[in-house]
Amino acid sequence: MSMRVQGRVRRLTPPSESADLTSQGGRVASNNRLLSVVLVSTQRRWYGGEEQARLLAAGLRDGGHQCAILARRDGAFAQRMAAEGFPVATFSGNGRNVPSLWQIRRSLRRVRPDVLHFNDPHALSSAGLASLGLCIAARVAARRASFEIRFAARYRFLCDRVVCVSQDVARVCREGGIPSQRLRVVHDGVDPSRVRSGDRERGRRALGLSDEQPLLLTVARLTEPKGHEFLIGALPEVVERHPNVCVALVGDGELSRPLQMQARQLGVDSHVRFFGYRDDVPDLIQAADLFVFPSHTEGLGSTLIDAMLAGRAIVTTTGGGIPDLTASDDPHTDAVAWTVPPCDSRALALAILESLDSPQKRARLGEQARRRAERLFTARHMVDATLAVYRELLDVG
């Protein structure tokens, strides 16, 4: 199989730097030297991890660094990054067959990057194996899920650092056998301009809502860890007090039909609307009176950052890495959300009712959330923190 390059392929380095980049092979880097980075993704569809990789690539390019993409041929990541002008090389499937491993290795030998960044576990397995013996100075793996670590050996032997999106993910990594000295926490970031592009009136028109109808919004895949069943379980009590409330569930997933059945069984199906995947999420966030995020197993929750940057009032849980965003476990930080224990429909109902009955508190918490997100959780913060991990590795002789 031959390597296929998609989109407009650009030089990875300016002519004046080409000789230096292709011969550096693990040299010590100064903090001012521009870097060559290859981002690897094996995902077929576009999820939060792919958006973070896109923001990282864009931030690196904006900073003058060279960023190339290695991605599966039939994946959305390859198509979109090529459309955005990045050099993209593709491989078949998840990259773990012999022809694909050879394609990846041949591409890496040609580019010889300073940094090889694995954006998902399969990318670590495939490109990590393909990179052995190539003297790449920094190999960094992203870890976004709070699930139990499988095959911890690949994190010990195929990469130099594991970038965890939250303290909880770092805890899971330590308990799974990854040495603490290899772990670094870098929170996800969001592009504030994307969130600010949302329009409340446009969003409410798209949902067919009147101005006075309360809108509860959840943006998350319809999977078990996201906790939608506990939100639906909370709705009978909410609807009893607020009979005109509308709950919009944005996201696709295998639990769509079971959740619809649950809503019917509880008699709240007329209040719950399933929208699947949407391109107008910024509009919907601005249209919402309350953003509800009931996840009980969460690496971090980047859609929560969207809601925070929009200044929306939030009801969420203390599950997984969510406290990194809300600081619910820090008595010295102002509250930014109503937080409840995971998997507790009754607690969710009470928090939602309190928020709906407290417009002034909603406004205050929303403003505090916006300030916290702008200070800590923008894409710029994420890119700078990731670069610091790169340079930590490159500057060690």
User: What is the value of pTM for the model shown?
Assistant: 0.86
The pLDDT of residue 183: 97
Q: In whole angstroms, what separates CA 242 from the centre of its chain?
A: 33
What CATH architecture does domain 192-376 belong to? 3-Layer(aba) Sandwich (3.40)
Looking at residue 31, its pLDDT comes to 63
Over residues 1-29, mean pLDDT: 33
Q: What would the pLDDT profile of 19-31 be if each residue is shown by its tens digit?
A: 222 223 333 445 6
Tell me which amino acid residue 204 is: R
Each residue's pLDDT tens digit, 328-348 = 888 888 899 999 999 999 999
Of the candidates 289, 288, 321, 275, the residue with the CA atom closest to the CA atom of residue 302: 321
Q: Are 167 and 192 spatial neighbours (Cβ–Cβ below 8 Å)?
A: no
Determine the average pLDDT of the residues in 34-60.
Answer: 95
Note the pLDDT tens digit of each residue in 70-103: 999 999 999 999 999 999 999 988 778 888 899 9
Give tens-digit pLDDT for 346-373.
999 999 999 999 999 999 999 999 999 9
pLDDT (0 to 100) of residue 29: 44
Q: What percent of the chain has pLDDT over 90?
A: 81
Rounded distance between C-alpha atoms, residue 248 and residue 243, angstroms:
15
CATH 3.40.50.2000 domain span(s) along the chain: 4-189+379-394, 192-376
196 with 215: CB under 8 angstroms? no
CATH 3.40.50.2000, applies to 4-189+379-394:
yes
Nearest to 112 by CA among 87, 91, 138: 138
Q: Are strands 290-293 and 314-317 parallel, antiparallel or unpaired?
A: parallel
Nearest alpha carbon to residue 120 among 75, 168, 63? 75
CA-derived radius of gyration, the chain: 22
Give the DSSP H/E element, type plus range, for residue 247: strand 246-250
**Which residue(s) pair with 6 in the sheet?**
88
Which strands sit side by side in the sheet containing 161-164, from one edge to the other?
4-6, 88-91, 66-72, 36-41, 115-118, 138-143, 161-164, 183-185
CB neighbourhood size of 171 (10 A): 15
163 near 389, Cβ under 8 Å?
A: yes
In the predicted model, is pLDDT for residue 18 greater than 80? no
Q: Tell me the torsion sign for CA atoms 334, 336, 340, 342.
A: negative
Structure confidence by residue, pLDDT tens digits, 151-175 = 889 999 999 999 999 999 999 999 9
Residue 396 carries which side chain, given as an amino acid letter?
A: V
The mean pLDDT value of the chain amounts to: 90
Please report the pLDDT score of residue 305 as a whole number. 97
Query: By the 8 A CB rule, do 247 and 218 touch?
Result: yes
What is the structure's pLDDT at 8? 31
Across 195-218, average pLDDT: 93
Evaluate if residue 130 carries a pLDDT over 90.
yes
